[in-house]
Amino acid sequence: MALLEVDSIEVRFPLREQEVIALRDVSFQLDRGERLGIVGESGAGKSVAAFAILNLISRPGYISEGEIRFDGQNLVRLSESQLSRVRGDRITMIFQDPMMTLNPVLTIGTQMMECLRTHRHLGEREAREIAVENLKKVRIPSAEARIDQYPHELSGGMRQRVVIAIALLTEPDLIIADEPTTALDVTIQAEIMALLLELCETENVALILITHDLGVVAQVTQRTIVMYAGRIIEEGPTRALIDRPQHPYTEGLIQALPENAVSGQRLNQIPGMMPTLTAIPLGCSFNPRCGHASDRCKTEVPLLSTDQDHRVACFWRMQQGAR
C-alpha cells in the first residue's frame, strides 16, 4: 500500500464576488521513502497542494472534494485535534523562508523541544538531548550553545538547517518541503538541498519537494508532477519526464532552462502568461499559449491518461502517441 494517496482533491477559495477553484482533480501517490517533486510557476497551485495534505490551507480556502489517505487514514475527514497528532509527528513540513518560519521571540531549543513534548510527551532533559542530537545531524556547529540562541542570532542557512532539524525530530514518514531554498543565498542553496537529500536517504523518509526549479527536482526526486493553473498536466519518473517531456508546457519549461540555451541566442521562453485563477480559459487552460492547440483543446478539458507510468493531460500528445 502506498504511504500517501491523494485522490481527486479540489480546493476552493470563496472570495467576495465568486468562488475561486485553486486546485482541480489533483491525484497522486507516494510510496514509503519515495521522493516526489511538484513543479510549476507561482500560482500554479503547487503550494496549495502541499498545504492541503495537512489541511493547512490559509483561510478562507477549504478542501471541497476528494480524499487524502495517509497510511490508510483519510486526513480530510479527521478533526482538528486528530489531525494535529499527524502534523509535526508523522508528516512534517519545511517552509520557504526560515526568517519567517521560526518564531522570533522563542529560542531554537524551545521551538524544537515543544514538538517532542507534544508528540512524544518527553521531559525537559530528554527532549533537549534529542534536539541537540538533531542539530548535530544537520551539522550545526557547537549545537549545545546554539540551542539556547534566538533565530535572529543565526544566519539564513543556519536557520533553514534548524527548520530541517525540527522536521526530522519525530522521525516522520513524510516531509513536505515548500520551496526550501528559494529564500536563501544562491551559494547556500545547493548545500542545503544536498543535506536534505542525504538525510531523507539515511533516515528513509519520503519527501514531497515543491519547487519551480527543474534542476533541483532532477537532482533530488524520483518522480515529478508538473502543475499548471491548478491541475496536474504531467506526471512521471523524473528522468523520463525531463528527457522526454510529453506535455508542450513541460517541454517549454525544459527548453527555457538556461543550460538548454544556445549561446548568443535569447532564452527559450514560453510565450504569454499563466492565466489567473479567476480567468481560466475554456478547455485546456494552456491552449492560448500552446503551438499545437486544436479546436478540441479550446472546448474540452483533457484528462490525465491513467494507464501508463508516465501520464499526461494533452489531446495533441494522445493523438501523436507518446514519444
* Residues that bind another protein in the complex, under the rule CB under 8 A: 54, 56, 58, 80, 84-89, 92-93, 95, 97, 100-107, 114-115, 118-119, 150, 152, 163, 166
Type of residue at 190: A
Give the span between the Cα atoms of 130 and 227, in whole angstroms.
Answer: 38
| Phi, psi dihedrals of residue 202, rounded to the nearest 5° | -70, -35
Smallest separation, CB 70 to another protein (Å): 13
Rank residues 34 and 89 by Cβ distance to another protein and give the closer one: 89
| Phi, psi dihedrals of residue 48, rounded to the nearest 5° | -60, -40
Smallest separation, CB 94 to another protein (Å): 9
Smallest separation, CB 104 to another protein (Å): 5
Give the span between the Cα atoms of 159 and 230, in whole angstroms.
Answer: 31
Rank residues 88 and 230 by Cβ distance to another protein and give the closer one: 88
Do the Cβ atoms of 12 and 61 come closer than 8 Å? Answer: yes
**Strand duo 62-70 + 4-14: pairing:** antiparallel
Smallest separation, CB 44 to another protein (Å): 20
Rank residues 163 and 241 by Cβ distance to another protein and give the closer one: 163
Residue 238 C-alpha from the chain's centroid: 15
Rank residues 139 and 152 by Cβ distance to another protein and give the closer one: 152
Rank residues 181 and 238 by Cβ distance to another protein and give the closer one: 181
Rank residues 183 and 301 by Cβ distance to another protein and give the closer one: 183
Smallest separation, CB 250 to another protein (Å): 30
Smallest separation, CB 58 to another protein (Å): 7
Do the Cβ atoms of 242 and 249 come closer than 8 Å? Answer: no
Smallest separation, CB 109 to another protein (Å): 13
Residues 6+ apart with CB under 8 A from 61: 11, 12, 13, 22, 48
Query: What string of DSSP letters covers 168-208?
Result: HTT--SEEEEESTTTTS-HHHHHHHHHHHHHHHHHHT-EEE
| Largest interatomic CA distance in the chain | 67
Rank residues 107 and 255 by Cβ distance to another protein and give the closer one: 107
Hey, what's the cell of 7?
485522490
